[in-house]
Amino acid sequence: MVRCIAIVLAIVAAPPLTERLAGLDPARPLAYLEAGEDAARDGEVDVARQLYRRCGALAAGRDEPGLAASAALGMASLEDPSGQDGAWATWHALARMLAPTRVTGGTRVAPDADRLRFAELISHYRAGRSLQAQRLGREASCVALAREWGALLPGGGDGFIRACTGLSASAPPQLSPRQADQLMAVEAALLARAPRALDELRCERVSPIPEVDARDPAGAFGIDDATWWWRGGRWSATK
């Protein structure tokens, strides 16, 4: 009963998507990611893509590579892994290349397949993508990594896995701001890579590999007109 009440309150408290779009500000790129996750959950895939792209471009431009990598994972979540266009692989590769080299005080190597899947699990859980979270939450590698990172996960490692495997499409996770920040930090840490990440990706034959200009990582997200504001039902370059 308490859970049902919390869900109802969350739904009532959340402003309509159009209102959230109108309130977006490029000074707060995380809001674009959060709105994109909500749009994707509501089936507004085109809007979600627009929001993820803007979040990634803004985050990369502000030197927030962990957030940019999360936006790339968001884009990947909208693609079919078996699609012939290779979009899913492209966004995964971009996430790994944009992820920060130092996020926990030390240099980390490129994330292996298990770490990448666990980062995906966190992304799916935050966005309320129940089927994906349930599937990955049952993988042994994700269970092991959840226990390793348990101190930073809501409910601890085992509790987080239970929350993922029990996630319902009609009941998105209720996270406090601190919990949301911690999940973002874990996701960024899992994606952290060393400079040889590109070579490792090539060795793993992840294709296609996107061309990313180191001087303009924001360009990888395809937003080159500075249309950050939503005005009159369309994106605008003026506030």
pLDDT digits (tens, 9 = 90+) for 13-62: 456 788 889 999 999 998 999 899 888 888 899 999 999 999 999 988 88
Give percent above pLDDT 70 in the chain. 77
Measured in degrees and rounded to the nearest 5, phi and psi for residue 235 equal -80, 140
Distance CA 74, CA 51 (A): 10
Q: Which of 15-24, 175-184, 229-238 has the lowest mean pLDDT?
A: 175-184
Higher pLDDT, 180 or 165: 165
Residue 105 pLDDT level (bands cut at 50, 70, 90): very low
Tell me how many helices (H) and strands (E) the chain has.
Answer: 12, 2
Is residue 97 within 8 Å of 193, Cβ to Cβ? yes
Cβ count near 105 (within 10 Å): 5
Distance CA 79, CA 82 (A): 9
pLDDT at 99: 65
pLDDT at 82: 77
Question: Is residue 213 over pLDDT 80?
Answer: no
Cβ count near 224 (within 10 Å): 10
Question: Is residue 125 over pLDDT 70?
Answer: yes
Which residues are CB-contacts of 105 (< 8 A; sequence separation ≥ 6)?
none
Residue carrying the six token digits 């292996």: 112
Q: Which of 50-59, 62-71, 105-114, 148-157 has the lowest mean pLDDT?
A: 105-114
Give percent above pLDDT 90 in the chain. 25
Distance CA 33, CA 176 (A): 16
pLDDT at 63: 82
What's the average model confidence in pLDDT over 189-214?
Answer: 46
> How far out from the chain centre does Cα 11 lie?
21
Q: Where are the domains of the chain?
A: 17-105+207-239, 112-191
Residue 217 pLDDT level (bands cut at 50, 70, 90): low
Question: What is the dihedral sign for C-alpha 153, 127, 176, 188?
Answer: positive
Average pLDDT, the chain: 77
pLDDT at 50: 94
Higher pLDDT, 103 or 139: 139
pLDDT in tens, 80-97: 877 777 788 778 777 777
Residue (of 43, 101, 68, 28) closest to 223 by Cα position: 68
Taking the model in full, what pTM does it have? Answer: 0.62
**Rounded to a whole number, what is the distance in angstroms from the first to the last CA of the chain?**
43
* Angle, vertex CA 51, rays to CA 162 and CA 134, nearest 5: 15
Please report, for residues 58, 115, 160, the alpha-carbon distance to residue 141 in angstroms, rounded to integers and kept in the order given: 32, 8, 14
